[in-house]
A and B are shown apart, each in its own frame.
Chain A
């Protein structure tokens, strides 16, 4: 599981707009997004490099949390679930981004045990991989 926590300027409402408005997302994510912010709504992502993904909006709590699932359109890659958690922090907002793999047999399959995943960022895995290839595979 990947987890990143960053403190960003501006309040949660402004950050929410940045995270959800297609024009903003295209700018910082390098991805065109088409979605309706309603749980269960389909989503479509097109990267600047032409890569296409489809997805599913799962949880929408404006200013607090957005959760969606996405996977490559050609169905050859990993299905994963992305969560944005926003918390007010002084004059800014603490944003936590979590991306974790889910079952690939069906995109709507339940994610692997969320609680068990939380304490791990895959660094150990990266270590094993890098020990084998002789270069850092994981930051």
Chain B
């Protein structure tokens, strides 16, 4: 394409310059437009946090209590139990003794979690 290898470096330099101009051009245009035609009008409402039209209350940086993980665990126990109990109940008649035993062990594992939570006092409403 180019005659000498020295000259060929101008191609990426030109491309880089075009790329930078492509990025800076619209920004400069927007700045010039705001400067000469469309003035900025910040205000109390406009700068406020958008909250569906309501005035936002308090701080966005609130912390959730870490104890909520207990609710998540107890929810999971019942959730998984429901999902597995339904097919278990549907095919209950055709199950072998081994399958039944496996299911009971599985249920016991889940119930163990519930008992653990119960003894820990998670189920009492505070």
A, B assembled together: no
**B residues whose Cβ falls under 8 Å from a Cβ of A:** none
**A residues whose Cβ falls under 8 Å from a Cβ of B:** none
